Structure 1
Amino acid sequence: MDYTVRVHTSIDDVDERWDDLMAAARAPAFYRRAFLRAFEKHPLHPVLRTAYLLAEDGSGRAHAALPAYLQRDVDPMRVIAEHYPHAAGRTALLSHAWHCYDTVLPVRPGPRSRSAAECAVTALRDLASEWGAGLCGIVNADAAGPLDAQLTGAGFTGVDIDVGWGLPLDRYAGFDDYLTRALSGKARQNLRRDLRAAEKAGVGACTVDVGEADLDGFVRLARATAAKFGNADYYRPGLFQDFVRELGDCVRAVELRVDGRMIASALILTDDTRLHYWAVGYAQKDTPGFSPFYVSYAHVMREAWASGRDWVELGRRNPSFKRRYALQPRVLRAYFAEQ
């Protein structure tokens, strides 16, 4: 089967075929229209040009797709700096945005899915050449997934850049079962102790839609948390709030308060099969006797089972905590081709 790849520069230029393909491919929340539109309107990092590549058959049905962003000097995770330092200052055409830790190549299931994916990858390199990009690639992809063979076969070089973490929810009956069967005695006791101490301190938890969330409070807490790693501008004031509001009903906030003061806020995204614990900020001080981070984690995990999804995704970083709480690691890889 022959495919034609069409390049669109706005997600709203692509009709419902995009949504149909994402549903068929069970693509993560980062590929759904709400997230892509939000990133167009309020780009969380600078973008020079945006493209949506859509591989279609002769009838116009979409079989593979990729969002891609032309950028320069955007490297919040220091991936290019550490692995391709000679490419610093050159433009790069990359998929997906850096705020996505779950990069895939959405393809329609079927016997010709591989050829559709290969067509999309070829089109990505062709577009990089057309736009004069010095570097072309896909970042934050599962190293054990199908993209590894497809991209290395197409001449991309893979480098391990991070670790992503998640948990199959259907393995446990719920949060309490997870505590009992998955955790060591010490980890389980510590989390339960924090929950009791938070309850004694009068901490209240609520899960709210984006229209009710205190996003200014979230950004304040998240920037303070990220500042420990020198990355506070991952949450740029004003821009980040506007982006999250644009996400609409695919995002919710889990907020913790004591005496009216917010001490932790976590943002969760949902798609057809997963709940994503996407971002969190929490107070560094003034919470004696318990950790607002651990208490927030417990409430998000309860939300995960309540959502009815199969999997909870917990993104990158903080490996010691995630190992201790029995989360499953997967190597994240970046695949680059120099033009």
Structure 2
Amino acid sequence: MVHASGAPVFYEHAYVHAYEQAPLTNADYSGCFVVRDGEKLVAVLPVYLQSEANPLRRLHEAYPETLGQTVLLSHTWHCYDAHVPATADVLPRLLDAMTHAASVFGAHWYGFVNVERGNALSRQLRAAGLPARHLTDRWATGLTTYEHYLAGLGTRARANLRRNERRSREAGVTIEVLPVDHAALDEISLLCTKTATRFDTSDFYPGSTFTKFVLALGGLAHVIEVRQHGRLVAAGVCLADATRFHTWTCGVDYAVDGRYSPYGVLFAESVKLAIRLGKTTLEGGRGNADFQRRHGLSPRHLDAVLIQT
């Protein structure tokens, strides 16, 4: 169903199963609506009941009414592209089911978060008369070749990327792309947590749980390690689906020897890896707007559509 509907990697069985094995956020309940037409599967939708449903502190900015209340959400906060994997128009039935489930679980609110404004789900929710409130933006761009990507950048950004690659080589930096079971995930987890702390979101990638989650992703994930003289200075955990390459999370240590940016090295390698894997879209995730815009990514506005029970 996920493949037939073109839903992103966050709906793959391996991703949802990994989240059940190693939940990165505290959920009071996790489950999945399954919609059938007779014996034929026509839709699925994972849902999560959360009493602390605001790890990025965005929901309460958009919906201050939800502060301190339990919410039944369409997916976890680690999914930034909400869909309803379906081959039929089932949204009205799903909304009815979510209403009932919210009542059973005692949730004060239910609905969808991280819905891309203007996509199919967004249009269906609007057609149902449900208002949306802006949460944040995610960033993405199309890909063909690396040279074509560079050619689309501004002169300064293009020169900076090329100069950074040269300086990093001169500084003894090495880059390695690894499967999850060969990557230094404990070391990467510490670096990701250290980086997240700078943005006051350190609980978004909880230590040992993060390592277990990434291991459970298996082949969905690609790990990029950037090292200088053996020391990890940047790392990224990237996810791939049929057409998209997601720079899902990263960690960076800027205390390096030499005049280069380890984050710039990691970003350039992410673009190159996406192209090598034949992906036509680079998903840059949320935040870091200035860097994203400067490097050719465009915003996709993400909304929340919540309904009070």
* Equivalent position of 1:86 in the other structure: 65
* 1:150 aligned onto 2:129: no
Mapped contact 1:65–1:120 kept (Cα < 8 A): no
1:110-125 equivalent positions in 2, closer than 5 A: 113-114=88-89, 116-125=90-99
Distance 2:67 2:32 in 1: 25
Mapped contact 2:33–2:46 kept (Cα < 8 A): yes
Mapped contact 1:219–1:240 kept (Cα < 8 A): yes
Mapped contact 1:137–1:156 kept (Cα < 8 A): no
Instruction: Say which SS state the counterpart of residue 178 (structure 2) adopts.
Output: strand
* Equivalent position of 1:45 in the other structure: 25
Instruction: Provide structure 1 residue ranges, at least 5 long, that are not aligned to the other structure.
Output: 1-20
Instruction: Provide structure 2 residue ranges, at least 5 long, that are not aligned to the other structure.
Output: none
Q: Read off the aligned partner of 1:83 and give its amino acid letter.
A: A
Distance 2:257 2:13 in 1: 39
* 1:204 aligned onto 2:174: yes
Structure 1, residues 82-101: CA drift from partner, whole Å, max 9, x if none?
12223222211001100111
TM-score by length of 1: 0.88
Q: 1:126 aligns with which of 82, 100, 112?
A: 100
Q: 1:262 aligns with which of 206, 215, 232?
A: 232
Distance 2:53 2:115 in 1: 18
Q: How many residues align?
A: 309
Identity %: 35
Mapped contact 2:62–2:134 kept (Cα < 8 A): no
- Once superposed, what is the RMSD of the aligned Cα atoms? 1.3
* Aligned-pair CA distance for 1:239: 0.8
Q: Read off the aligned partner of 2:99 and give its amino acid letter.
A: R
Mapped contact 1:103–1:138 kept (Cα < 8 A): yes
* Aligned-pair CA distance for 1:297: 0.3
1:1-339 equivalent positions in 2, closer than 5 A: 21-58=1-38, 60-108=39-87, 113-114=88-89, 116-169=90-143, 172=144, 174-180=145-151, 182-339=152-309
* Aligned-pair CA distance for 1:310: 2.1
Distance 2:289 2:188 in 1: 23
Instruction: Say which SS state the counterpart of residue 195 (structure 1) adopts.
Output: helix
Structure 1, residues 30-60: CA drift from partner, whole Å, max 9, x if none?
10111111111111010111120011102x2
Instruction: Say which SS state the counterpart of residue 84 (structure 2) adopts.
Output: coil
Mapped contact 2:58–2:136 kept (Cα < 8 A): no
TM-score by length of 2: 0.96
Structure 1, residues 259-302: CA drift from partner, whole Å, max 9, x if none?
11111101111112211110110112124300000110000100
Q: Read off the aligned partner of 1:201 and give its amino acid letter.
A: A
Mapped contact 1:68–1:93 kept (Cα < 8 A): yes
